[in-house]
Structure 1
Amino acid sequence: MNWLHRKICGSARWARKVERDMLPWALDGVDLGDRVLEIGPGYGATLRPLAARAPKLTAVELDPTLAARLSAEHGDRVRVVQGDGADLPLDGARFDAVVCFTMLHHVPTPARQDALFAEALRVLRPGGTFAGADGVDRWPFRLLHLGDTYQPVPPETLPARLRAAGFVDVTTSVVEGRVQRFRARRP
């Protein structure tokens, strides 16, 4: 991430916005169950509010420095694993829900994004839910990501890509052309 993006994502203001606005909207009507996996928590703005909703929360973070920081910060409340969301170092069929927020656009290629979708399906128990939200490609979003890995998921392709990974009951929505949310279920 570039300097500005790190500053925003690591800020208390962003964490409040995530907790107050983004997370409730993204998870409205989603039953997380007891065992939840978050892929790509980054600076961790979602971890505290997710930990309040899920008795057993695991997070997989690619960046080793962030993973160590999150582990130290959240202690026993969240199990933090350093790893790649497109190649999860976790057993299959163990989570009631898998979630990811504002991170899919940081996965460098559509093929790696599709691998992440397949891994989310693999670690979900039958009937489990994959849900989350991500930005939609537009010029302010692009400017924020100058010098970053930036591969936004086109909203018009997301449902078919989730179905191709094996998900059913796929729903997506876009708000004001800025942000999209998705939900899908493992059969």
Structure 2
Amino acid sequence: MNSEHAAFCSSEEWAEAIRVHVIPGVVGALELGEDVLEIGPGYGPTTAELRQLTPKLTAIEIDEQLADRLAGLYPDVTVVRGNAASLPFENERFSAAVCFTMLHHVTTEELQDQIFAETHRVLRPGGVFAGSDSRASDDLREFHHDDIYNPVDPTGLADRLRRAGFADPKVTVDEDHFMFEARA
């Protein structure tokens, strides 16, 4: 992650946007249940909010330094350093899984699809998978200079989630972002 991007993702401005817009917009009235998986929490502003919404939160983070930082900040959260395309959890463990503004950091569409399939595998039947991300733009591509930037096309996301095994995918799109939810 470039330094400008890292500074923004660790800023109070971003944490406020997460608190006020992202978490309420995605989680809203969803029942997450008692054992939630967060995929790719990065600097952790979503983790800070999610840990208040479920009795048991597990976060999987691929970056070792960020995983260590999260574990230090949130001792009540189980932080696992690992790759969400190969989740180290048993089948049907989690009541829900969430991911926020991280899918565009996954290098290929195939790896994104593998994350969807792995998430489906670790969710209990009926468990919800929900998340959000930014829509592609030239400004975001520039902001992600020297970063991985592989935005998801929301128009094909419901079909991709179905192929991963999810039922009833819903994708909501606005000018800059999209949100999704689907059931295992």
In structure 2, distance between residues paired with 1:156 and 1:134: 13
- Residue 29 of structure 1 corresponds to 29
| TM-superposed deviation, 1:29 | 2.4
TM-score w.r.t. structure 2 length? 0.98
TM-score w.r.t. structure 1 length? 0.97
In structure 2, distance between residues paired with 1:162 and 1:129: 12
Secondary structure, aligned partner of 2:121:
helix
Are 1:67 and 2:51 matched, yes or no?
no
| TM-superposed deviation, 1:156 | 0.8
In structure 1, distance between residues paired with 2:59 and 2:120: 16
- Residue 108 of structure 1 corresponds to 107
In structure 2, distance between residues paired with 1:146 and 1:93: 38
Written as runs of structure 1 = structure 2, the 5 A alignment for 1:23-102 is: 23-75=23-75, 77-102=76-101
- Residue 4 of structure 1 corresponds to 4
In structure 1, distance between residues paired with 2:74 and 2:138: 35
In structure 2, distance between residues paired with 1:35 and 1:168: 20
Q: Which runs of 5+ in 1 are unaligned?
A: none
| TM-superposed deviation, 1:31 | 1.0
In angstroms, what is the RMSD of aligned CA positions? 0.7
In structure 2, distance between residues paired with 1:141 and 1:135: 9
1:107-140 residue CA offsets vs partner (Å, 9 max, x unmatched): 0000000000001000100110000000110122
Secondary structure, aligned partner of 2:119:
helix
Structure 1 residue ranges, 4+ long, deviating more than 2 angstroms after superposition: none
Q: 1:179 pairs with 174, 177, 180, which one?
A: 177
In structure 2, distance between residues paired with 1:66 and 1:88: 18
Q: How many residues are matched?
A: 184
- Residue 15 of structure 1 corresponds to 15
Q: Which runs of 5+ in 2 are unaligned?
A: none
In structure 2, distance between residues paired with 1:172 and 1:61: 24
In structure 1, distance between residues paired with 2:159 and 2:41: 25
1:51-110 residue CA offsets vs partner (Å, 9 max, x unmatched): 0001100000000111011001101x2100000011111111010100000000000000
